[in-house]
Structure 1
Amino acid sequence: MSQHLDRYYNIIKKSHVTEKATNDSLNRNAYHFVVPTNANKVEIRHAIESLFEVKVEAVNTLTKRGKVRRRGYVKGQKPDWKKAMVTLKEGDSIDIF
């Protein structure tokens, strides 16, 4: 059992708390999380249901490209990252804030 939880903790890196995410959690019962770029919707669903003991209705994902940064003449790029918006069944909630 603990091997599964370790894998689930690696899938859900952290919650993504912004003004839009807060409004989604209050109005649509949806929560935003930062996940690895290779995680798929099924893995995210299983991780959320197992870690928080809730029922997931839908999972939407989007990949954000890393921004190009300059410091003098040296160019660099921040890493790409993936955001998962998880909608829960009516009556379920996650206490993130």
Structure 2
Amino acid sequence: MRRPHEILVRPVISERTVELMEDNKYTFIVAKKANKSEIKKAVEEIFDVTVTRVNTLMVRGKNRRMGRFEGKTPDRKKAIVTLKPGDKIEVFEGL
């Protein structure tokens, strides 16, 4: 089994995710091979909260150009984690 810090890559901070925080939902970029139960255990272990639901989605990379050269941004997996009412993740507070 992977360590929790290998599963959670980074939090996602955007206008939409800040609005979701009001509903006690937090968004993370996670490892591509992580499943919902691993994500749940990682969030509970790192932040000491109770997770009630995990939704995951694959975000496909976009095609990009730099002059005549073409490339693609990498694909990534995103997880939206719903916490028990009353629980908060302190990293996101004050946004």
- The number of aligned residues is 92
Q: Corresponding residue for 2:5?
A: 9
Structure 2: give runs of 5+ residues left out of the alignment: none
Distance 2:70 2:15 in 1: 31
* Higher fraction of helix: 1
SS in 2 for 1:87: strand
Q: Corresponding residue for 2:26?
A: 31
Give TM-score, length-normalised by structure 2: 0.90
Q: Corresponding residue for 1:93?
A: 88
Q: Percent identity over the alignment? A: 45
Indicate the RMSD between aligned Cα atoms, in angstroms. Answer: 1.4
Distance 1:79 1:41 in 2: 21
Structure 1 counterpart of 2:65, from 64, 70, 95: 70
Contact 1:15-1:96 within 8 A present in 2 as well: no
Task: Establish whether residue 20 from structure 1 lines up as the match of residue 16 from structure 2.
Answer: yes
Give TM-score, length-normalised by structure 1: 0.88
Q: Corresponding residue for 2:39?
A: 44
